Each structure stands twice: as C-alpha cells, then as structure tokens.
C-alpha cells in the first residue's frame, strides 16, 4: 500500500492550480462588477464575461506545473499569480482615474522608456489618491495562497514520501491545452457576438469585456510592439517622397473665398450617418401624405449664406466615425484596417485642425460627445489633435430615458452643452458629434415627428424618423446660437460622417428613391456614399450649391482657407474644394476612385452620368490614360498610409507648430479650468455679464420638464451626482446592437 501511495502523482500542485484559478476568477469578477463599466448586456455577454478570466490565467498558471521540483513549482505559481494580480490591480487604479485601461505605451511612458504617450502622466503622482480601503480584497487571496504554498513546500521538504511522489508532465500539458482550448472557444464566442472585434477595435472596454484583462494586455503589447517596430524603421528620409507629393497636391486658395470667415468661431456639427439623398427628400406614407424629412437642413442647404456641395463623399474605412474625424480634421485617410484613433491616436503626431487653429490663430478648441471618451480612443487621441477641452458623457446627465443605443439624444446633447459652450474663450473651434441618427435608429414614439418608411427592412424604415429628430435638434441649436449672440460671428460647418444604410440594405431603400431593387448594383451603391457638406457663414450672401466632386479629406484645407490660414506648409492629402486648381478626384479607402466623368469601381470604368460600364467602348489608350488618373488619386491613400503608420509627421513641424506640446491633463476639472482661463473675459457668458444663456435655449424634448432645473454635471464639482451605472447600462450596454449589421457600425 505504501508503495502505491508513493507512486500516486503529487495532487497538491493540481489543488493549488485550481485554487489559484478560482481565487483569481473571483477577484476579477469583483473588478468587473464594481470597478469597470464594461456595458454587459444579455446572457451571451454575461457568459463570456464569466469565462474569460479562466482561459489566459489557465495557460499562464499552468507554466508552473512544468517544474519537476515541488518548491520551484510552488513559488513559480506564486510569481505568476502575483503578476496577473498586479496587472489587474493596476488597471483597477487606472480605471478609477481615467475610465480606461492601461496600455503598454502608458507604462513605458511613466517609466521614462517611451516619450510619445501622455495618457497617464499623472498616474504615479496620484497613486495614493486612487487607493481605497477595500482594495485589500485584491490582495488577501495572494496572501492566503502564499501562506498555503509555503506551508506545503515546507511540509514536502520534511516529508520524503510526499516529495518523491511524481508529477507527470502530461498533467501540465493537459492544463495548458485546456486553457488554450478555452481561449479558442472564448474567441469564437466573442467573434460571434461582436464581429471583427480585433480587426476593428472600437474600445479597450470591448476587448476586456470579451477576452479579459490578460488577453487585452497581451494584445495591446503586440500592437504596441508592432507599431513601434514599424515606426522604428522610419527616418526623415521617408518623408521626402510624401513631402514632394503633398507639395504637388496642394491647391492654392481662391482669392474670392480666402479669409471669408477669418476670425470667426468654428462650430462643426458632425451629422451621424447623414446621407446626401436626404436633402430635399419627401417621405410618402401609405395614405399618400408627404413629409419633408429634413426641413431645417434643407433651408440651410439652399440658404444664401451657405456654400453647399452635392457631390461630396465620405471616405471612411473600418474606423467609420473615427476615420471621418481623421479625414476631416487632418486631411489624411484612415488606416486600411482598424481605426487610426485606436491604433495610433495616443502616440502619433498630427497636424490637425484644432492644433493648427490654436497655434496659428489663438483659438480655444473643444470637442463635445454624448458617449464615453474611451470609445474609438477619443480621449487618448484628442490630446494629440490639439483639443484643449473634451466634454464626453461624464459631463452629461446620462440618466434613464435620456439616451439611445449609442449615447445622449441629440436634442438633450445640444441643450446640455450650452453650459460649456458659453464658457469657451473666443474665438473657438468646436466639434459636436451627434448620435441619435445612429444604426439601428431606435426612437421612442414621443420623439418621432414623422411616420416610419414602409419598406421590408425595419432599419431602413426607422432611419427617416431619427434623421428628422436630428434635423429638429439642429434647428433648436441654431435658434440658440442666434438668440445668444454667437451666430453672427461664427462659421457653422455641417458634414455627414458616413453612410446610414449599408450596401446590403440599399436594395430595400431603392424603391423610395425611384430605383428598381433588382437593377441595383455597384454603381448605385457608390452613389449612396454621398454625404452632406455645408459651410454656413452668417452675413455672406453669395452662397450656392457647388457640384464639385470632393471627399472628407478635402474638408480641412477648404475650411482653413476660409479662415485665412495658408496650408502650403502642411502635408495634406486633400485639396481646397473652392480652389480653381482642385482636381476633383475622390479616392475611397477600398481603392475605388471617382471623378465627375468616370467612376473607377472595382475592375470596371463607369460613365459617371449613366452608370454604363465603358470597358468595351473605350480604346486601350483611353483606358490607360484614365487608369493613370485613378492611380494618381490612389497615391493620396499610399502617402497618407505612410504618414500615419510610420508616424512621419514627428520628423516635420511647420513653423507655426514648433512650440506646440500635447496636453498633460486628462480632461478633468474642465469647468474650473475654463473659469480660470486668462481669456475667459472673451467668453459668451462674460459678454452676457456673467449671466448664463441656458434659459435662452428652447427645446421640445419631452425628457425635459418645464419646471426642471437643468443643472449640468461637472465631475470636478459634483462627482457624486454622476450616475455611472446609468451611463454604463444605457450607453455602453447597447453599443452591441450593431453586431449583425455587417459594417453599419460607427461610434
């Protein structure tokens, strides 16, 4: 019998291994539910959340089982357990301060090993402030495990029989393979619930929610190392070719428009999922009644003070709304895969609109968004774009009934933004990211002003209602601009960020546009990529609708020239749409290129007017010449990719930007900062003698009671009033509703 006992495998290792897994899972759950706002909704996401701590921790902890010596095995398990526990706890502390997860760039930056990241420059100094008494719960398990393993190790050293019991490596291999199998299953489940999770990285919260802290850390490290390796290969010499292209690509400003809006405030309204076909569109219901979908935008579109464009296209890729921001504010394209904001935003150098206007013209710069700042890594990116202020969901009341799937309703968003706008020193550059007109276009009956469309697709049907709601929100905001006095000294820029209905849904939309769904094809899909663009300049009377072909990459040089800023020293891939030298080339991220006469779609050349394929009617010489023109358009993509992926702008700073340094704060205490701004006497509220203009704002939003005091939230003043649970449940929880929409995802 004693002989048999001696031959039994040492079961203590398995016991410790299983115990360590359970303890780590328990405290990870504690962090998931009490520290992080992961936005879990539904049984599938809950199940994934509950299993994701096991997969990677099984693989990591199983490494200790390969040691033959009991002592080495026990202590190596402790070391590995300490590492993953420390990793979890560091993220807990970091999340408390920044509502985001730690990145490798952040860690290296704090250690002085990487100079590019400013995401957590105050983390170490504020370490003790972030500690909580209950944090002992994150370490009591480690203390218990240490005591238990040390006790067993000492016992094994005095118990020869116990020490001689073998531990077969097949058990270690089985543990590792089980962990890998669980990880694979975790990945499959995550991909089924959130397609393109890793290729289209929206938010670090998503990766943690689906795959866990350990996987997120490894993935982030891989991305960082890969990007740094690519960056390390670059030098100033790589900039020469791009510099020459940008110089040749530059279109000189038109004297008629240059400086037309010089010195004015810039108010940019990003029309979520806004498509050009909505301009002047009337929706007819089943009874034959007609409804103008966007009456206010239509009036602006045709206004004498507006320069509008009817052949303006979105050029976004997988980064959707974040790509639109890269295009419109940097005159660069998004990346071929994923989001430039998420992949490169925290570390790259940018020559963006807020930075340029801040340095060249002394503008105050601010962004407004009724969703979390971590989505698309906006918080990390905006500092490098040059934004002085960023008001995200933590500055708004995100309570029940005020939000839809992707954030605050537009009427409430504009209404609640007044408190912050009126504090901005003038002149200011501001950007407002709207959300209500976002897939899948849900809207309560009390907020709907027109009926739904009548097609076989519910998403298409709802699109018209949410578009009308946003149109009304814009009108209310414009009314306040006029009543408050901001209107006359501003230029208001309105543009659509990307399509609202994907190619797969366009055939359902076709009958409403007078097309036969059976004859709908690639050419028709390309026409649907048009989005609105308007420059509304109060006091200007020669506005018109321009037929110039252009894309979002052309927006920044156009705007800067209107503001009287020369652009020949910047490396822009776009051209001023008002310039007589504009080439009217519109390259898409997928390689398609449009011109006023020809559309290069896939392998075919189409007549831009009729949609006829011209491959067999053009001569070889004509085809060669046309393809050279298309390739010239694609050069913008190639050079943009070089600038971004190699971070080439770090090697070149125009004279106006030489003294610029990125912000070191985390967009906290912003109201206090605004009130103490040296230029605060130029703000709207100062011009009103210190009286708020909030009472001037009129809205028919049913969520706002007539007698309700709409005191907005500043985290620095009244942090306890923030309903974080509502914020998580009503915003992030619902950000998954688009998983079956193929590529209909944005924010």
Give the catalytic positions in this structure: 321
Residue 433 CA to residue 17 CA, distance in Å, equals 49
Closest CA to 529 of 548, 508, 503: 503
DSSP letter for each residue of 519-574:
G--HHHHHHTTB--EEEE-TT----EEE---EEGGGHHHHHHHHTT---TTS--SS
Instruction: Let me know: does 561 contact 579? Beta carbons within 8 Å.
Output: yes
DSSP letter for each residue of 590-647:
TS-EE-SSEEEETTEEEETTT--B-TTTS-HHHHHHHHHHHHHHHHHHHHHHHHHHTT
The DSSP bridge partners found for residue 533 are 309, 495
Residue 285 marked ligand-binding: no
Closest CA to 239 of 570, 639, 655: 639
Closest CA to 270 of 388, 404, 367: 367
What is the number of H-type helices and E-type strands within the chain?
26, 18
Residue 438 marked ligand-binding: yes
Pairing of strands 598-601, 593-594: antiparallel
Pairing of strands 544-546, 306-309: parallel
Q: Which residue has the tokens 């208001």?
A: 492
Residue 81 CA to residue 57 CA, distance in Å, equals 9
Number of neighbours of residue 543 by Cβ within 10 angstroms: 19
Pairing of strands 544-546, 389-391: unpaired
Instruction: Let me know: does 97 contact 216? Beta carbons within 8 Å.
Output: no
Residue 604 marked ligand-binding: no
Q: Which DSSP symbol is given to 736?
A: G
**HSE-up (13 A, CA, CB side) for residue 677:** 21
Residue 497 marked ligand-binding: yes
Question: Which residues belong to the annotated binding site for substrate?
Answer: 438
Question: Which residues belong to the annotated binding site?
Answer: 272, 438, 497-498
């Amino acid at each position: 019998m004693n002989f048999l006992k001696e031959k039994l495998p040492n079961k203590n290792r398995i016991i410790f291994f299983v115990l360590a897994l359970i303890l780590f899972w328990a405290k990870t759950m504690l962090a998931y539910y009490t520290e992080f706002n992961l936005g879990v909704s539904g049984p599938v996401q809950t199940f994934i959340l509950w299993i994701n701590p096991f997969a990677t921790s099984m693989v990591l902890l199983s490494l200790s089982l390969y040691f033959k010596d009991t002592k080495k095995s026990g202590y190596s398990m402790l070391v590995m357990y300490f590492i993953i526990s420390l990793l979890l706890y560091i993220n807990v502390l970091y999340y408390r301060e920044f509502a985001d997860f730690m990145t490798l760039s952040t860690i290296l930056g704090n250690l002085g090993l990487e100079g590019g990241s400013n995401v957590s420059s105050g983390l170490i100094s504020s370490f003790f402030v972030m500690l909580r008494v209950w944090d002992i719960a994150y370490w009591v398990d480690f203390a218990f495990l240490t005591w238990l393993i040390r006790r067993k190790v000492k016992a094994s050293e005095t118990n020869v029989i116990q020490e001689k019991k073998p531990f077969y490596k097949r058990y270690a291999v089985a543990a590792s393979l089980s962990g890998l199998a669980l990880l694979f299953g975790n990945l499959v489940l995550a991909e089924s619930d959130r397609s393109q999770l890793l290729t289209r990285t929206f938010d670090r919260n998503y990766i943690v929610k689906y795959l866990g802290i350990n996987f997120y850390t490894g993935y982030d490290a891989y991305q960082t190392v890969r990007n740094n390796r690519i960056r390390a290969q670059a030098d100033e010499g790589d900039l020469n070719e791009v510099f020459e292209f940008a110089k040749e690509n530059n279109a000189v400003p038109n004297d008629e428009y240059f400086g037309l809006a010089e010195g004015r405030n810039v108010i940019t309204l990003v029309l979520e999922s806004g498509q050009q076909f909505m301009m002047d569109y009337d929706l007819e219901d089943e009874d034959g009644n007609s409804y103008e979908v966007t009456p206010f935008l239509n009036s602006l579109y045709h206004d004498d003070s507006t320069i509008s464009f009817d052949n303006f296209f979105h050029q976004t890729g997988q980064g959707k709304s974040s790509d639109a921001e890269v295009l419109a504010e940097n005159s660069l394209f998004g990346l071929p895969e994923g989001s430039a904001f998420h992949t490169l935003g925290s570390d790259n150098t940018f020559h963006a609109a807020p930075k340029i206007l801040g340095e060249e013209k002394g503008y105050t710069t601010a962004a407004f968004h009724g969703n979390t700042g971590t989505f698309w890594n906006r918080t990390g990116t905006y500092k490098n774009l040059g934004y002085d202020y960023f008001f995200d969901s933590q500055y708004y009341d995100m309570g029940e009934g005020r939000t839809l799937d992707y954030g605050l309703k537009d009427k409430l968003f504009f209404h609640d933004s007044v408190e912050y706008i009126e504090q901005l020193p003038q002149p200011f550059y501001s950007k407002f990211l709207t959300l209500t007109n976002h897939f899948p276009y849900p809207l309560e009956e009390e907020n709907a002003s027109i009926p739904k469309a009548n097609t076989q697709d519910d998403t298409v049907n709802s699109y018209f209602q949410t578009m009308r709601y946003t149109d009304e929100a814009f009108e209310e905001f414009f009314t306040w601009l006029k009543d408050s006095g901001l209107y006359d000294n501003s230029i208001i820029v309105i543009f659509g960020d990307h399509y609202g209905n994907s190619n797969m849904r366009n055939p359902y939309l076709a009958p409403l546009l007078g097309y036969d769904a059976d004859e709908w094809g690639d050419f028709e899909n390309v026409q649907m990529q048009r989005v609105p663009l308007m420059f509304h300049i109060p006091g200007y009377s020669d506005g018109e609708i321009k037929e110039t072909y252009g894309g979002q990459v052309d927006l920044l040089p156009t705007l800067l020239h209107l503001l009287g800023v020369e652009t020949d020293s910047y490396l822009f891939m776009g051209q001023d749409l008002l310039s007589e030298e504009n080439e009217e080339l519109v390259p898409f991220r997928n390689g398609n290129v449009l011109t006023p006469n020809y559309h290069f779609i896939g392998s075919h050349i189409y007549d831009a007017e009729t949609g006829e394929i011209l491959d067999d009617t053009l001569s070889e010489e004509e085809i060669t010449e046309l393809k050279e023109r298309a390739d010239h358009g694609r050069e913008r993509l190639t050079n943009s990719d070089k600038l971004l992926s190699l971070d080439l702008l770090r090697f070149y700073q125009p004279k106006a930007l030489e003294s610029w340094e990125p912000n070191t704060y985390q967009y906290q205490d912003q109201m206090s900062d605004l009130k103490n701004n040296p230029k605060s006497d130029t703000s709207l509220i100062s011009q009103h003698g210190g009286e708020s203009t909030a009472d001037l704002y009129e809205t028919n939003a049913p969520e706002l009671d007539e007698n309700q005091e709409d005191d907005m939230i500043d985290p620095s003043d009244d942090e306890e009033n923030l309903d974080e649970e509502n914020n998580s449940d009503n915003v992030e929880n619902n950000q998954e509703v688009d998983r079956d929409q193929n590529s209909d995802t944005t924010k």
